[in-house]
Structure 1
Amino acid sequence: MNSIDLTPLYRSSVGFDRLASLIDNALTTDNNTIGYPPYNIEILDENRYVIALAVAGFSQEELDIQVEKGVLTVRGNKSSKDERKYLYQGIANRTFERKFNLADYVEVTDADLTNGLLTISLVKEIPEAMKPKTISINHGNASLEHKQNKRLSKDDKAA
Structure 2
Amino acid sequence: MNTIDFSPLYRSSIGFDRFASLLDHALRSDQSNNSYPPYNIEVLDENRYAITLAVAGFTQDDLSIEVEQGVLTIKGSKDSDSKEKRQFLHRGIATRSFERKFNLAEFVEVVDASMDHGLLTVSLVKEIPEKMKPKQIAIKGANGNTAIEHKAEKVA
Same fold per superposition (TM over 0.5):
yes
* Residue equivalent to 2:111: 109
State the partner residue of 1:146: 144
Q: Percent identity?
A: 63
Deviations 1:110-145 (A, max 9, x none): 00011101010100000011001122345xxxx233
Q: CA deviation at 1:26?
A: 0.6
Quick one: structure 1 residues 79 and 33, their matched pair in 2 at CA, closer, same or farther if it must change by over 3 Å? farther
* Residue 69 (str. 1) matches residue 92 (str. 2): no
Structure 1 residue 59: Cα displacement: 0.6
Which secondary structure state, in structure 2, belongs to the residue aligned with residue 112 of structure 1? strand
Count of residue pairs brought into register by the alignment: 143
For residues 123 and 41 of structure 2, the distance between their equivalents in structure 1, rounded to whole angstroms, comes to: 10
State TM-score, norm by structure 2: 0.84
2 CA distance for matches of 1:9 and 1:31? Answer: 24
**For each residue in 1:52-105, what CA deviation from the matched residue of structure 2 results, as whole angstroms up to 9, or x when unmatched?**
110000011110000000000000011212432211111111000000100000
Quick check: 5-14 or 31-40, which moved more? 5-14
Q: Which sits farther off after the overlay, 88-97 or 2-11? A: 2-11
Helix, strand or coil for the counterpart of 2:144? helix
Runs of 4+ that moved beyond 3 A = 30-33
Gapped regions of structure 2 (runs ≥ 5): 146-156
1:2 equivalent in structure 2: 2
Gaps of 5+ in 1: 148-159
Match of 2:132 in 1: 130
Higher helix share: 1
Q: SS at 1:113's partner residue?
A: strand
